[in-house]
Every structure is written in C-alpha cells, then in structure tokens.
Amino acid sequence: MAETMVIWRSPEAGLNWNQEPHLAALAGQALAEGGRKALGRWQPAPVRVAHVHGERHDLWWEFTLESSFRWQAHMQRIRPEVYQQRLHRLTRALGLDGLLSREVASLTHGTRALADLAVALLSSPDLLLWEEPFYLLSQAEAARAARLVQAQHAAGMALVAVAHQPPDLTDLPAHPDLRHGSLLHLA
C-alpha cells in the first residue's frame, strides 16, 4: 500500500503555518520519522497543535476515562465550565458519554482510539496531526471520528492526517466539504 495523506487547511487561510507547503512538509516529516519527531522540528509559527496516533494511547490505563479528560483539561488550563461543555460535545459526538466512569483498561481498542481523539481535541487545537487514524476503528467508529474532525475543521481547525498502512485514509475525503474524494498517494 502506498502511504497516504490528507491535508485540510484551516478556514483561517491567511496564517503562515496554514499554507499548503508548511502542512505538506509536516505530513512528509510525519510519514518519514513519526509525528512527535516531526512536530519537534516543524515550527513555522506559534500554533496550538494536537497529536494523535491511532495505534498508541496516551490515556491512564488504571483510571477512569473521565480522569484522563480531567487531567488533560488541568494541563491545558481549561476553565471548568469550558471543560464541561467541550467534554459533553466531544464524548457525545463520538459515542463515549456513557463510558466516562469506566476504567480505560476495560475499554475496547476502538473506544480508546476515539477517546484519544477526544482528549486531543479537548484543547481546541489550531492543527490536528492524526497518524494512522483508522487503524483500530470499526467502520462506524471511523465515520463518527471523521464527522467530528470535519466539524472541528469547519470551526477553524486544520488537519494533517497520514497513514503508512491499512486502513488508509479513505474515511476522510480529500477536501473537508466533500463526502467522498480521492487521496493524495505518495510514491
């Protein structure tokens, strides 16, 4: 399978970091050396970036899902009322609202992947770098995740999604306003 990427510039098109060459460079670096390393080297301007890897989780295994969300809100210094509002919106969109009291270790792989996405989006980032986004997700979970990311994009977030392996990025249209689109396949 060829490596694939999807880049959605933020509707705030005038920002330097939001230009196609900068985002494409980030995508290429993420494919070559991984997202965390790529983000360490990619800094065209101050920008709030969230990173999610579909195969790895940053949640606290021995605590409840809500504890992971609360800790992230604390680290991001999100006001309690803003945190509650965002938590409700994200967990509802991803079908996680009834699972907040469950220990992370007891969740399915797909549910943990959705929770990782929600935790990353809790801070309302300017840019989401999403690696192997659909690796652990069922078709229904992938559709919910893609709809949420499209809604976040409409609200101003840019997206760089990359995949090395199946499943690729077919659940994300090439352009955020399209239902289905072609992907950019890399050689």
Give the per-residue pLDDT at 99. Answer: 96
- Could you give the CA distance from residue 179 to residue 92 in angstroms, rounded to a whole number? 22
Q: Which of 19, 36, 35, 16 is nearest to 27 (CA)?
A: 35
pLDDT tens track of the chain, all 187 residues?
Answer: 468 889 999 887 678 888 888 899 999 999 999 998 998 888 766 788 999 998 877 788 889 999 999 999 999 999 999 999 999 999 999 999 999 999 999 999 999 999 999 999 999 999 999 999 998 999 999 999 999 999 999 999 999 999 987 777 877 877 777 543 333 333 2
Spell out the CATH class of 4-185. Answer: alpha beta
Contacts of 75 (CB under 8 A, 6+ apart): none
- Measure Cα distances from 170 to 59, 126, 182 in Å: 26, 23, 8
Q: Which of 144, 146, 116, 123 is nearest to 52 (CA)?
A: 116
Helical residues (DSSP H) of 43-165, grouped into ranges: 65-75, 80-94, 109-121, 139-154
Give the per-residue pLDDT at 44. Answer: 65
Note if the bond before 167 is cis, omega within 30 degrees.
Answer: yes
Q: Are strands 49-53 and 184-185 parallel, antiparallel or unpaired?
A: unpaired
Give the per-residue pLDDT at 178. Answer: 53
- Measure Cα distances from 99 to 8, 62, 115, 140, 168 in Å: 30, 14, 10, 17, 28
Give the per-residue pLDDT at 183. Answer: 38
Contact in structure between 142 and 131 (CB atoms under 8 Å): no
Q: Which two tokens stand for residue 61?
A: 């295994």
- Could you give the CA distance from residue 93 to residue 20 in angstroms, rounded to a whole number? 29
Contact in structure between 129 and 91 (CB atoms under 8 Å): no
